[in-house]
Structure 1
Amino acid sequence: MILKHCIKALAFSALTCVSAFALTARAVPSAPANWPNIQYDNAIPDMQTVLGYSVGQRITSHPDMLRFFEALQQAAPKQVKIFEYGQTWEGRKLIYAAIGSEQNIANLAQFSNDMQALSDPRITNKNEAKPLVKDLPASLWLEYSVHGNEISSTDAAMMTAYHLLAGKGDATVDNIMQNSIVFIDPLQNPDGRSRFIANYYSTVGMMHSSDRLSAEHNEPWPRGRANHYLFDMNRDWLAVTQPETKGRIASLNKYRPLVVIDLHEMGGDESYYFAPSAQPVNPHMTKAQIENINLVGRNNAKHFDANGFDYFTREIFDAFYPGYGDSWPAFYGAAASTYEVASSRGEIFRRLDGKELSYEDTVLRHFVASISTAEAVANNREKLLKDYYQYQVDAIDAGKSDKKERVFILPNKRDRAGNFKLAKLMTEHGVDVYQTTEKVKMCGETYAPGSYYIDSAQPRGRFVKTTFTKQVDMSKAFIEEQERRRERKLGEQIYDVTGWSLPLMYNLEVDTCGKGVSGQHRLVKMTDTLEGNVINPNATVAYIVPWGDMAAGRFLTAALQQNVTLKTADRAFTLDDKKRYPAGSLIIEVATNGADIAATVQDIAAKSGALVEGVNTSWVTKGPSFGSNDTYLMSAPKIAMAWDDPTSSLSAGNTRYVIEQQFGYPVNAVRTSMLARADLRHYQVLILPAGRYQDGLGKAGADNIKQWVEAGGVLITLGSATTFAADADIGLLDVKRELAIKEQDNNEEPDAESSTVAGKAYASRDDLIKHSENSEESPDFVAGVLANVEVDQEHWLTAGVAPEVVGLVYGDDIFAPIRLASGKNLAWFKGEDDVLASGYLWKENKKQLAYKPFLIHQPTGNGMVIAFTQEPTTRAYLDGLNVMLMNAIFSAPAHAYVAK
């Protein structure tokens, strides 16, 4: 059996093992063995027996992976247990396997309870923790293939599980099984992997091709990286929007594994990466955590050296953003890291050095890393447990010692739905969140019942700090190095967003206090729901839904889909000198709806969480009356969204998710190539997510869309789609993209037809650098910061939106304002000194971004173009922008003049 031969071959040559599966014979160097004395139990089935092929012969599908793990559990039920932790959007099962000795697996439920006890020094003091540290097994969580086209780790997971269960007479395996529990999540993204496999094998011809130009190595849109909604799930651990992420977080919170490893793939011309990570490191991580993951890295290095495997550390893949699969666990106390292997992106790949990288090569390296990691965890069982408990103690002490920001308070004065969602999200992360049940005084301020607060003097206090503080700083040395590199045009090394404060992204008011809280409160639970309510449910004239949060938004989408007749008021109004309702409020008149409207309103309110007020008069004393020209009848729009190349799959998927799953409204995905010639008359809204549409749509497509807009359509552009719309040759949007600001004497370009240029004297190296600059180039690229945005309060498109919101700035697009003759700038970035809300922004970008538009409205014929200069749906975690986007989608069609 080839699998058994492969692992046994480690006794002679790990790389010879790889060559045993090669499609074509090729010479490989020999290497020392890792596990020379191992024997395999024939009672444990291998892949050849279960699936008909051996490891590395074929890219294993999701159904085959399930079959193999089920066969392992059937053969060794006392040493492995499989748990289902969720289902994907497409209905595929998500599993993890717990592997260990018979005793460790039999005690799995008690292990979970003991880890919960060890996780909270408030209930388990140091004396009580000592026997747990002494007796508990260590624990390792190995998570594989979160990106569906990073294929090798799932097969490595299968190989690792077999090795641990079938391996006999080997000290390493015995040590791992006796002293630890190894949790294996073999396939985090079944939907993406299934998409990759279907595309890959459909392109294979007579022989597999190693040519990087071949169809085998060039996936079609949207590729297999993302899940069904095209989320990069490795960045979903902060917002927790996808069912796959939700299930994983619940599982990790149940067992609190001490070490968590996320196994990935990178470019095929690379080697292998493991810890230590690159800079910057999140300052809320501890020295012990960093030491422990480096200890694991050293053990990996020992095994990689023994096998002659190249690897690198520290150069890329930082540990700063807390929303990765390898960083989120650090904030409950685990030591965590990512591993990356050079990818064959298929069964064989020719590297730039001329060597061929096989699928088996990549699987073997992840397998070796998995076992060597498990060995390090077992060897350091007591140290890891001790450090884990101390992490919890120190987290509580750190919270208590903060005399300024110990407690974070959500007063819940506005955006009731947003406050509730954020409180529930933090609870899902494992944070203790409280809601006041009476008036509570904190640091001199009195907070009404219903306010939320989080005391950072708790085991998850460091997670609270890194997600609730406005600013988490990168190290001074790292920033200085990035500025030096930028000056030298070497390219900065910031890997991902530098700002992610959750209250800012939700656009919620948050206060802080340096003292603990007393008074009546309740612990927020995952089972809590946002309760809707209808005041005066038997109203005789109308029902009013105050606009401004997502509970009202969900009420709107449900009502539209149930054919409820309703209106929206462009301006705030006061009813009978008693109650003021904000702009955008929904009006459902009894007379224009059916006899069952009261029951319908109550049902929708209960399901959406909206607050609704029934009224018995329509006498408005200030603002537009119910029959005013400033009160518009709304209808259910048909929404089309550009899909497929050249649309950004992430932008398309994130946007579709926000509309369908957060707003509760269907979207029709239309392939971009169809938009160039399609009859769009039956759509009221067309959304262009970020993308490079010059190739996919071009002038002809833009002209088709423009005719549709002029006839009454609403075009919404997001991020780089706004760049396309603003192109002078395209002509959909009357704005211009700005070049970087340059000093005046730097704008002199030599005559292209001349062989000479006027002479200049340089006094310093700075002059050389200054006059080497291009006179026309884009602003410097921004990896992702949170920026403050001011909002026009006198337009229907910003109804219900706060005077200031926070948006994400990414990339290098900055736009000049639209002229009043063409449209309006309805939201714009704040001034240079105030524009940055969180993160690190180059000083030149701060200066140039100030007072530039974020939201633009341009009437065109009977329709309009609504342009967001940045994406409001990135990662579906900018909840504070959702009302603005809802206005664009649902209010805009009511303001377009379409012949009915």
Structure 2
Amino acid sequence: MMLQKVIRKYLFALVCVAALIIPGAHAQETTESGEVYPLWPGTQYDPAIPTHQQVLGYAPGEKISSHSDMLRYMEALTQAAPDRMQLHEYARSWEDRKLIYVVIANPENLKNLPALERDMQGLSDPRKTDISKADALIKSLPATVWLGYGVHGDEISSTDAAMMTAYHLLAARNSPEVDQILANVVTFIDPMQNPDGRTRFINHYETSRGLLPDSSRLSVEQNQAWPGGRANHYMFDMNRDWFAMTQPETIGRVEQMQRYLPLVVVDLHEMSGNQSYYFAPPAMPLNPHLAPSQGKSMELIGRNNAKWFDTFGFDYFTREVFDAFYPGYGDGWPTYYGGVSMTYEQGSSRGLVFHREDGTDLHYRDTVRHHFVASLSTAEAAAQNRQELLQDFYNYRKSAIREGQTEKVRSYILPGRRDKAATTKLAGLLTRQGVEVLQADKSFKVCGASYPSDSYIINTAQPAKRLIRTLMDEDVSMNPDFLKEQERRRTKDYPAEIYDVTAWSLPLMYNVESIVCDKTVKENFPRATAALFTPATLSDDKATVAYLAPWGQATSARLLTHALRQGLTVKSNDKAFTAQGKRYPAGSLIFEVLHNPEDLPRRLNSIAQLTGAEIHGVNSSWVTDGPNFGSDNVTRMIAPKVAIVWDEPTSPYSAGNTRFVIERQFDYPVTNIRTEQLRSGDLSRYQVLILPTSWGSYQDSLGKGGAENLKAWVKRGGTLIAMGTALRYVSDPDVGLLSTHRENNYQADEIDDVSPAENGRIKGTLLTSAQDLHQATTPAQESPDYVPGVLVKAKTDGDHWLAAGLAPSLNILVGGSDIYSPLRRDAGHNVVYFQGPDDLLASGYLWEENRRQLAYKPFLMVEAQGRGHVIGFTQDPTTRAYLDGLNISLINAIFRGASHSQPLR
């Protein structure tokens, strides 16, 4: 055995020497044992291009490459071939890691990259580029392919495949496929979209591994500790963030893609290790705003992938899962500027080897190679169909303009009368995604109504029309046959095939006024900027009594958090009042001059510039109606110490997204507390504690001691906020923190209890129809059917202090199967409750039974416990941080909740 190893090492050394001597015969990557790692069989490689092994010390797939290894290798490739590869940094993650993309092309195309950007921008706007100019560009331009890898940090194979793809494109010498790609394609490679999540995964894996890679699905290697590596620093699933654009990784990536508008975009993922490989065409349902040419191109690229997978003997499947309906995916959002975007999914080894249910082992090196082959195949398909892809892109943009001129929806008007701050943010968000948004510099009239200056206008007769309709329409319809099939499956208790939410209308989620008009606004208004808020200034820096800030917008909420962090004294009213002729809603902020530092005007002016908050000075405390500043209906706001439960059983998404909203959207610090600390830890330092949505059982994690600790803390003046499925815990009779109850599925006809008798038999029955069979198999007690995600309408009880500043009507994203009973009036208040069945649904597809049962049930509840309060959100208000219309309800729960409790101060 020892002799064999010596001979193997000697032969390996000879091969390495030969590779350096013989031009064009550079050896392929080899493993530690000397085995040749197959890249593309039969290909010779340029020895001037450094291999994975030469730079990093291991072959592709032999180790899970870290962020630093990836950067080191991409930099080495760039140095080796600067005429064919460029490296660009496009953002930094929350943990300050570089996000990069590389561009690979032949020397001429790489040198002409600025011209490519200019020409793609020209081709993207048929209003400026007529058919003859477009034809010239289509004949001369290369195709563009954007390959994105590793948006989920624990989907590990794609990053190593990205490095392999870059090497192969630069080093392959006798490859007709590569020659064709370099001649016809500019390839953009984004090798690691989520470096923070990947680093978290690698830390877990490297600290868990032993002498040999362990393939057992029970091993620690195969079971990540909470929160896992899938999400980024703030626990966002960034494959749902593309149009929400909340995270720096997404913001930077979208900005770069807006420059080049790549024709083909692929997002490379992983799925269960027991599955093979998925590529497009996608499953149903399809978004109705997709163009037929895009579906045709997906099929064309899929067939090319199939050709190579058949050649190499790789298993794959298509169409069965991963639909093309929701626009927030990496394979969705690029579609709506005219790209052909797709997801590829590789069964994951979640380590170096995974033992499958069929008894075979899946090796990491194989998962890397599958993604590598799919990447090259995609670029090859783009090269073979360069002109057709460019023509389809131009036609897509041209037909979008035509549709915007002829369809019933010609424009959207955003007056900003309900929430100016949210409206401004929405306009800026759309502008950042390539939508042309106008801002009126004077009042105007259209569709029989008058609108004020500063209103935003979005005419649909523009190249981004399909993105506009997808994001701005109240509802995007699903295929009727698909919905019919889901209803059929539901009758048999099979899960729905809807992959994500069915509703995402931005005006509804932001709760802003959006008027649809069947006429184009023709005034020559200036283009809106991409700013998400408008800096403000103090209206009067010489006020002698107080400064007042109307409540109800994100700008005033950020004013509150900044003021509290600076130690300013702030009061807030529970009822509306009128001062010096101006109406101030409940929740408005009062800064009394004599109770604050002498430089109060300077501080408030600085905060207004930073937040955009509206602040007015008054020289008298006299009000013409409503409570005076010294009334019992005016509360001094405290600066609460806020904690959030971290670790199992919480949902990482809910915990992270909630923390993000508080810290990054409202600039207020949050302390993370591990769940086990709640069992007996001293919580007296905190005034607010948030229980996020849970994926497991808080009862099991906290036990009796935790429940008693929480109840004692609340009664001493704490404010406990429970979200989503966390209400299962606080409403548990054994916990007794909130007097609501989770409901079973409503049954019009009571189901008989058919429990077996002592002899194991039950009463005999006669079944005379399939309906009888369905009735007989219905459990006596079951949850309502699971809702994939819809937007529903809710009403606000404006008289309660927790509803201060909330709009009379809110839009709530409802998902899951939990429905809660209202609080009795002697127990607490149902501050926000769902509307009646006929008015409930705002957007999406909701099962009829759920529609009826959700009606008039609570969304936001509050119950006093001793000196404190328990506040319950029956649905998570911070999902994906894109429900801006619900943010004030969360801020009220934290700051008004803490100030209306009576903790010892």
Match for residue 413 of structure 1 among 411, 417, 432? 417
The one-letter code of the counterpart of 1:243 is P
Match of 1:79 in 2: 84
Mapped contact 2:28–2:39 kept (Cα < 8 A)? no
Go from structure 1 to structure 2 and tell me whether the alpha carbon gap of 1:487 and 1:372 turns closer, same or farther (over 3 Å shift): same
Amino acid at match of 1:399: G
Q: Distance in 2 between matches of 1:839 and 1:729?
A: 36
- Which residue of structure 2 lines up, in the alignment, with residue 658 of structure 1? 661
Give the structure 1 partner of residue 594 of structure 2: 591
**In 1, Cα distance between equivalents of 2:40 and 2:761:** 69
Change (3 A) 1:204 1:528: closer
1:59 is aligned to 64
- Matches of 2:757 and 2:142 in 1, distance apart? 72
- Per the TM alignment, residue 746 of structure 1 is displaced from its structure 2 partner at its CA by 2.3
State whether structure 2 residue 787 is matched by structure 1 residue 785: no
Q: Is the 8 A contact 2:421 2:533 kept in 1?
A: no
Q: 1:34, 1:307 within 8 Å by CA — same for their partners in 2? A: no
Alpha-carbon distance in structure 2 between the residues aligned to 1:238 and 1:527: 16
Residues 1:857 and 2:862 aligned together: yes
Equivalent residues of 1:221, 1:645 under 8 A apart: yes
2: CA distance, partners of 1:663 / 1:628 = 28
- What does residue 642 of structure 1 align with? 645
CA 1:97–1:238 in 2, change beyond 3 Å: closer, same or farther? same
SS of 2:281's equivalent in the other structure is coil
Output the amino acid matched with 2:414.
L
| Separation of aligned partners in 2, 1:366 and 1:470 | 38
Give the distance between the partners of 1:220 and 1:752, measured in 2 at CA: 44
Find the aligned partners of 1:212 and 1:36 in 2 and give their Cα distance.
32
Is contact 1:284–1:466 with CA below 8 Å preserved after alignment?
yes
Instruction: Tell me the SS of whatever aligns to 1:746.
Output: coil
Measure the CA separation in 2 of the matches of 1:34 and 1:400: 51
Deviation at 1:529, TM superposition (A): 4.6
Q: Which amino acid aligns with 2:896?
A: S
CA distance in 1, matches of 2:123, 2:68: 37
Tell me whether 1:240 sits opposite 2:245 in the alignment: yes
User: Alpha-carbon deviation of 1:761?
Assistant: 2.5
For residues 40 and 817 of structure 2, the distance between their equivalents in structure 1, rounded to whole angstroms, comes to 51
CA distance in 2, matches of 1:23, 1:604: 63
DSSP 3-state at the match of 2:624: strand
Of stretches 195-204 and 743-752 in structure 1, the one that deviates more from structure 2 is: 743-752
Give, in whole Å, the separation in 1 of the partners of 2:635 and 2:337. 50
Asked whether the equivalents of residues 47 and 55 of structure 1 are also in contact (C-alpha less than 8 Å), the reply is yes
Match of 1:253 among 253, 258, 276: 258
Give 1:727-806 correspondences, 5 Å limit: 727-806=732-811
Match of 2:618 in 1: 615
- Give the corresponding residue for 1:160: 165
Q: Aligned pair in 2 of structure 1 residues 718, 752: CA closer, same or farther (>3 Å)?
A: farther
Partner of 1:444: 448
Aligned amino acid, residue 766 of structure 1: Q
Q: Secondary structure at the match of 1:168?
A: coil
**Alignment of structure 1 residues 39-438 onto 2, 5 Å:** 39-403=44-408, 405-438=409-442
The one-letter code of the counterpart of 1:609 is G
Please give the per-residue CA displacement for 1:482-529, whole angstroms capped at 9, x wherever unaligned: 001111122211100000000000001110111111224210122575
Residue of structure 1 in register with 2:877 after alignment: 872
Q: For residues 575-611 of structure 1, what are the alpha-carbon distances to aligned partners after superposition, in whole Å with 9 as ceiling and x for unaligned?
A: 25x2211000000000111111111111111111011
The alignment partner of 1:611 has SS state of coil
**Amino acid in the other structure paired with 1:616:** N
| Alpha-carbon offset, residue 755 of structure 1 | 3.1
User: Over residues 73-101 of structure 1, what are the superposed CA-to-partner deviations in whole Å (9 max), with x where a residue is unaligned?
Assistant: 10000000010001000000000000010
State how 1:566-581 maps to structure 2 within 5 Å. 566-576=570-580, 578-581=581-584
Q: Contact conserved, 1:471 with 1:501, CA < 8 A, in 2?
A: yes
Deviation at 1:832, TM superposition (A): 1.0
Cα deviation for residue 835 of structure 1 reads 1.1
Aligned-CA RMSD value: 1.8
- Other-structure match for 2:604: 601
Amino acid at match of 2:417: K
Q: Closer, same or farther in 2 for the Cα pair 1:180/1:846, shift >3 Å?
A: same
Distance between the aligned counterparts of 2:62 and 2:655, measured in 1? 35
Could you tell me how far 1:898 is from its partner in structure 2?
2.2
Instruction: Find the aligned partners of 1:419 and 1:313 in 2 and give their Cα distance.
Output: 40
TM-score, structure 2 normalization: 0.96
Identity of counterpart residues, as a percentage?
52
The AA in structure 2 aligned to 1:306 is T
Q: Distance in 2 between matches of 1:662 and 1:369?
A: 39
Cα deviation 1:625-654 (Å, max 9, x = unaligned): 000011001121000100011111000000
* Matched residue SS, 2:345: strand
Greater Cα shift, 263-272 or 408-417? 408-417
1:863, 1:831 → 2: CA distance?
32
Pairs aligned (count): 882
Structure 2: distance between partners of 1:783 and 1:817? 23
How far off its partner does 1:133 sit?
A: 0.4
- Label 1:569 to 1:355 Cα distance change in 2 as closer, same or farther (>3 A): same
Letter in 2 for 1:540: T
Report the equivalent of 1:507. 511
Give the counterpart letter for 1:449 in structure 2: S
- Worse-matched range after superposition: 69-78 or 512-521: 512-521
Q: Residues 223-271 of structure 1, C-alpha deviation per residue, up to 9 Å, x if partnerless? A: 0000000100000012100000001100111001000000000000000
Q: Distance in 1 between matches of 2:683 and 2:617?
A: 39
Q: Residue in 2 aligned with 1:453?
A: 457
State whether residues 427 and 530 of structure 2, in contact with CA within 8 Å, keep that contact through their aligned partners in structure 1: no
- Helix, strand or coil at the partner of 2:615: strand
Shift of the 22–696 alpha-carbon distance from structure 1 to 2, 3 Å rule, reads farther
1:148-205 deviation digits (Å, cap 9, x = unpaired): 0000000000000000000112110000001000100000000000110011010111
Give the structure-1-normalised TM-score. Answer: 0.96
1:550 aligns with one of 551, 554, 575: 554
What does residue 538 of structure 2 align with?
534
Corresponding position: 1:700 with 2:708? no
Cα distance in 1, alignment partners of residues 103 and 485 from structure 2: 44
Counterpart for residue 721 of structure 2: 716
CA distance in 1, matches of 2:152, 2:761: 53
Give the counterpart letter for 1:96 in structure 2: Y
- Contact conserved, 1:536 with 1:613, CA < 8 A, in 2? yes
Per the TM alignment, residue 283 of structure 1 is displaced from its structure 2 partner at its CA by: 0.5
1:582 aligns with 2:595: no
Contact 1:533 1:606 (C-alpha < 8 Å) held by counterparts: yes
Which ranges of structure 1 fall in alignment gaps of 5 or more residues? 9-15
Whole-Å Cα distance in 1 between the matches of residues 657 and 33 of structure 2? 39
How far, CA to CA, are the matches of 2:740 and 2:726 in structure 1?
13
Quick one: which amino acid aligns to residue 673 of structure 2? V
Question: SS in structure 2 opposite 1:665?
Answer: coil
Using the alignment, how far apart are the partners of 1:760 and 1:424 within structure 2?
A: 64
State the distance in 2 between where 1:17 and 1:487 align.
56
C-alpha displacement at 1:833, in angstroms?
1.4
The one-letter code matched in structure 2 to 1:126 is I
Tell me the amino acid that sits aligned with residue 601 of structure 2.
A
Cα distance in 2 between the residues matched to 1:214 and 1:328: 37
Report the residue type matching 1:854 in the other structure. F
> Per-residue deviation at 1:371?
0.5
Q: 1:483 aligns with which of 487, 494, 501?
A: 487
